[in-house]
Structure 1
Amino acid sequence: MNIVVTPVLALTPEDRARAGELLLTLLDDYERGLPTAPLVPEFDEEALTDLLSAPISREGIGVEGVFAEIKNKIIPNSTALASPRFLAYVSGPPNGIAPYAEAIAAAINQNCNFWQLGPAASVVERAVLRWLAELVGYPPDAGGILTGGGSIATLNALVTALNAFDPDFRANGLQARSAPAVVYTSTEAHRSVDKAAAILGIGLDHVRHIPVDEQHRMRVDALAEAIAADRRAGLAPFCVVATSGTVTTGSVDPLNAIADLCEREELWLHVDGAYGALFRLGTTTRDRLDGIERADSITLDPHKMLFASLEAGCLLVRDRKRLRDAFAFNSSYLTIAEHPVMVDFMDYGPQLSRGFKALKVWTALQAFGTDAFRAAVDQTLELAQHLAERVRRAEELELMAPVPLTAVCIRLRGATDTDHTEILAQLAREGTALLGPANVNGRMGIRACVTNYRTRREDIDLVVDRLCEFARSVESGRQGRSRQQLAGS
């Protein structure tokens, strides 16, 4: 008679069945509750303090106990990023199949470093990268790697650029250089460029923030002048980071003109498309990103406009050999036979141990098809234009910048900076919407970024109507104070 012994950290068949039931119920309840869920919870400080300070049980609390903790303490104290009126940041809700893909990835637990530890995972990541490369217009010999997000992708891109710029960089780093290396980006660029420069030892003093035009795009004439000035000063320009989809206004730098300049000056061109690159899917925005295919490297984020669950960033490099030159190291204990179908992703980025991020991207593309994602992207673009048009028509509101993608910056006429801050807090507190602050040309405002496939026109209309009410209230209060001052005089 064979006696089945459950390993100490495995679930019994009964516990597996119960965990499955509880998980499906939790996911279903969460999905159904999203339309009415509080955007930002009035968090239960006692519950969170208990999570922080409670000792771990020696015997464990079991499957039922764990799900009870999640249901009673974690879910109620979590921000509803998937809510249709979560419009604060470039952060969309996960697509519907994402939780199941994540569960499968956790179950098979492939280590996506060298192919022997995950043959299918290696191929799936290659397939996802090939599709993304085709989307941006890259050639078949392009390469890339999935990352934790756009910031890490940009950091990896600058490492690759430095190695391409200086053949001795790997051996000597920046320490042996007599001419400091300089990177260029715009005043509207994401902070990840500065952060990467600081981490790599380039130094913030060697990051040039180029001024922008009236549409918040990098000025190519100012870029050319800055490069020339640095060369005259004996410095070593090596990389330009252009942006397709700036964080505040969604502006797209003039990519073709910047690519022309980079070719003349023999500089690496990286495009930070964490927000905007995937608008190549959009029916009306594909041509707006012309020139992105000329970049040496591109950052994009599947956890934004492909609605993958966090984390899923990506770095694409036009010449995959450049990426391997930057990150491949020989290790006798990791040496295995090469295979024409597989890729050892440990040679294309800084990580050795890597999770199976590609599965959730591949699964969603397979389940829904590219037409569904194109429709979702088009919907966000249409809603952003609807929001912009409503703001233009409202006498109480002002549109602060053009809307090339889905970021809409709004100012309430007559409102102070403090008023805008208080209005943002009130919108969240009352559950109307979670919006973010905007600083456009030194003026404070409110920013709504439509990157949510759950958002509908009625959500946009509710937000605009409420902003108009706030504006009228601010104006009424201002007039009342003026009358009191006049009466007092």
Structure 2
Amino acid sequence: MTLSELFAPTDPAFSEAMSTLLEIFHHSDDSQAPYQHQLFAQRLNQSHLPPVGLTLENYLARLATVIPGSSHLASPCYMGHMTAPLPAFTAELSRLVVMLNQNPMKMESSRLLSFLEREVLAKLHRLIYRADDLFYDQQMHAKDAALGVMTSGGTIANVTALWLARNRTCGDNLFALYEQGYRGAVILGSRLMHYSFDKGMDLLGLGAHNVWRLATDEQNRLCLTALEQALLRCKEEKIRVLALVGVAGSTDFGSIDPLPTLAAIAKREQIHFHVDAAWGGPTLFSPRYQSLLEGIELADTVTLDGHKQLLVPLGTGMLLCRQPDLMMAVKREAPYAIRATSFDQGRFTLEGTRPANALYLDAAFQLFGLQGYAELIEANYDRARLMAALIRDDPAFELMSEPVMNLLSYRCIPPHLRGKPLDEAANEQLNAFNVALQKAQRAEGHSFVSRTQRTVLRYGDQPLTLLRAVLLNPHIREQHIQQVLADQQRLGSQIASQLFGGSNGDG
């Protein structure tokens, strides 16, 4: 196609073809194009650009061969990852976001949308910190203040929180720590901290080895005894603690650290307290479950991630700050764009250019409302409890943690190990069995859960392979949960025979 044709209004037939492609995709599952690494690589192996542009018809034909091989996240039997199916209005709104092509980094390149972004952040700030009307009237659109920043996801939000914590402690000069008599700096949190904190410490020049991952208790929460021991060690060895991280919804178990106690310890030790609520933050919408996050309002900073339980597209992360002047610790300027006297949010963000994804959040807030989000959260958390009950009552499975939110970790048990004590050797068999089972279910494509590897207190320090279900899709019903488990039992019988032979491992 010519440049003039590409910039002309889109042919309605093209839009209709795209809608048809999406409709077909959303009514199928991964079995339409089962995952085969070698086959996928062979189908997409051209490294040369076409010499001339394709016609729209030819490009649609290409899309029709590619899209079926994408992950069917909207399928109610896809329970593997923390990416939500999107409400229908998102499709049309995305056209607006993309074609407006606003850059909220600078007011001149987004104008009113810069103010919309601040309004959206104020709504989230109120959800977490619950300040009064006067506070938001004064701070929402204040010049040298920010209730938070938009980021491209939870990882950048967590990295930004570490950036803030470091600059609050010693500015951007790490040598200031040594001048203060410290031999180094660390952050403290549980072993279930997200791996973005390792990235952040690397980027700050402090190294991932200075992320101290501490033991957890039987409820997969940061062990307070281990924390106090780590703090004592830091004092004895003259190591500065830059931040204490509390997890509000771990990626493996959905567990929540004891936030009120962590906040009190951080205040006592004068440490920046950050809560990673990328997964669990929207729990605050639910009157029934919001008490799970008691203490989050005491955090200096909080990470949220919109593509998870807020049901907006990927690339929509947020970092909220209890004090509106905190972001001044990382303020940066540029003479051609982000000037010292400007109103621009780009003064405070790690990313210089980003899309106006606050529009997605604004639409979701206006169309769901408090009641809609409360219903969504409570229904998903109830589904997790239903699935846990089905697992608990079936000897073919072992529930590895009681549901806190809407994540479940469990194992499938092969016939020869059901009802028997599970020692280290048996757990090794279970690890191999559950890895093979998860791969087989993924390859078949009718249903899906992910897997992880963690220690569980009742089995000591032995790493265990766990199946991991994410109950996020509002279309999930009991029959879909039963199908996932039935598929695992059916495939598990076949795999047990292959792995353990005719004796099923007894001999």
**TM-score, with normalisation over the residues of structure 1?**
0.88
Q: Any gaps of 5 or more consecutive residues in structure 2? A: 140-145, 418-428, 457-462
Match of residue 149, structure 2, among 145, 151, 164: 145
| Residue pair 2:129, 2:322 contacting (<8 A) in 1 also | no
| Residue pair 1:91, 1:452 contacting (<8 A) in 2 also | no
**Letter matched to residue 425 of structure 1:** K
Determine if the alignment matches structure 1 residue 81 to structure 2 residue 76: no
Match of residue 434, structure 1, among 423, 439, 448: 448
**Residue 203 to residue 68, structure 1, CA distance change in 2 (3 Å):** same
* Post-superposition CA distance 1:55-74 (Å, at most 9, x none): 323331132222222122x2
| Residue pair 1:39, 1:434 contacting (<8 A) in 2 also | no
**Letter matched to residue 169 of structure 1:** D
**Residue 483 to residue 378, structure 1, CA distance change in 2 (3 Å):** closer
Tell me the distance in 2 between the aligned counterparts of 1:224 and 1:427: 43
**Residue 30 to residue 305, structure 1, CA distance change in 2 (3 Å):** same
Mean alpha-carbon deviation: is it higher for 133-142 or for 319-328?
Answer: 133-142
- Once the 2 structures are TM-superposed, how far is the Cα of residue 430 of structure 1 from its aligned partner? 2.6
Tell me the distance in 2 between the aligned counterparts of 1:325 and 1:138: 23
Tell me the distance in 1 between the aligned counterparts of 2:38 and 2:233: 55
**Residue 105 to residue 177, structure 1, CA distance change in 2 (3 Å):** farther
Name the structure 2 match of 1:366: 366
Tell me the distance in 1 between the aligned counterparts of 2:306 and 2:185: 31
- Once the 2 structures are TM-superposed, how far is the Cα of residue 53 of structure 1 from its aligned partner? 1.1
Match of residue 284, structure 2, among 280, 284, 289: 280
CA-based RMSD of the aligned residues comes to: 2.7
| Residue pair 1:174, 1:202 contacting (<8 A) in 2 also | no
Match of residue 262, structure 2, among 242, 246, 258: 258
Name the structure 1 match of 2:212: 208
Tell me the distance in 2 between the aligned counterparts of 1:444 and 1:171: 40
- Once the 2 structures are TM-superposed, how far is the Cα of residue 129 of structure 1 from its aligned partner? 0.9
User: Residue 303 of structure 2: SS of its match in structure 1?
Assistant: strand
Name the structure 2 match of 1:481: 503
- Once the 2 structures are TM-superposed, how far is the Cα of residue 48 of structure 1 from its aligned partner? 5.3
* Post-superposition CA distance 1:162-207 (Å, at most 9, x none): 11122x3259677877521221011111111122112211223322
User: Residue 409 of structure 2: SS of its match in structure 1?
Assistant: strand
**Letter matched to residue 8 of structure 1:** S
Match of residue 292, structure 1, among 275, 283, 296: 296
Aligned pairs for 1:360-399 within 5 A: 360-399=360-399
Match of residue 479, structure 2, among 458, 461, 466: 458
Name the structure 1 match of 2:19: 24
Match of residue 12, structure 1, among 8, 12, 22: 8
Name the structure 2 match of 1:169: 172
Name the structure 2 match of 1:3: none
Aligned length, in residue pairs: 471
Match of residue 186, structure 1, among 176, 187, 190: 190
- Once the 2 structures are TM-superposed, how far is the Cα of residue 423 of structure 1 from its aligned partner? 0.9
**Letter matched to residue 109 of structure 1:** N
Name the structure 1 match of 2:143: none
Match of residue 305, structure 1, among 299, 303, 309: 309
* Post-superposition CA distance 1:289-313 (Å, at most 9, x none): 0001110001111100011111211
Mean alpha-carbon deviation: is it higher for 381-390 or for 466-475?
Answer: 466-475
User: Residue 408 of structure 1: SS of its match in structure 2?
Assistant: strand
Name the structure 1 match of 2:64: 71
Tell me the distance in 2 between the aligned counterparts of 1:133 and 1:67: 43
**Letter matched to residue 397 of structure 1:** F
Name the structure 1 match of 2:426: none
- Once the 2 structures are TM-superposed, how far is the Cα of residue 240 of structure 1 from its aligned partner? 0.4
| Residue pair 1:277, 1:300 contacting (<8 A) in 2 also | yes
* Post-superposition CA distance 1:224-259 (Å, at most 9, x none): 221122112111112101100111111100000000
Tell me the distance in 1 between the aligned counterparts of 2:117 and 2:32: 34
| Residue pair 2:106, 2:337 contacting (<8 A) in 1 also | no
Determine if the alignment matches structure 1 residue 421 to structure 2 residue 424: no
User: Residue 416 of structure 1: SS of its match in structure 2?
Assistant: helix
Tell me the distance in 2 between the aligned counterparts of 1:121 and 1:482: 63
Determine if the alignment matches structure 1 residue 116 to structure 2 residue 108: yes
Tell me the distance in 1 between the aligned counterparts of 2:271 and 2:256: 20
Identity of paired residues, percent? 25
Tell me the distance in 2 between the aligned counterparts of 1:90 and 1:27: 21
Tell me the distance in 1 between the aligned counterparts of 2:180 and 2:86: 45
| Residue pair 1:155, 1:196 contacting (<8 A) in 2 also | yes
Tell me the distance in 1 between the aligned counterparts of 2:14 and 2:376: 33
Determine if the alignment matches structure 1 residue 448 to structure 2 residue 469: yes
Q: Any gaps of 5 or more consecutive residues in structure 1? A: 1-5
**Residue 324 to residue 85, structure 1, CA distance change in 2 (3 Å):** farther
Tell me the distance in 2 between the aligned counterparts of 1:194 and 1:346: 25
| Residue pair 1:148, 1:311 contacting (<8 A) in 2 also | yes
| Residue pair 1:138, 1:318 contacting (<8 A) in 2 also | no
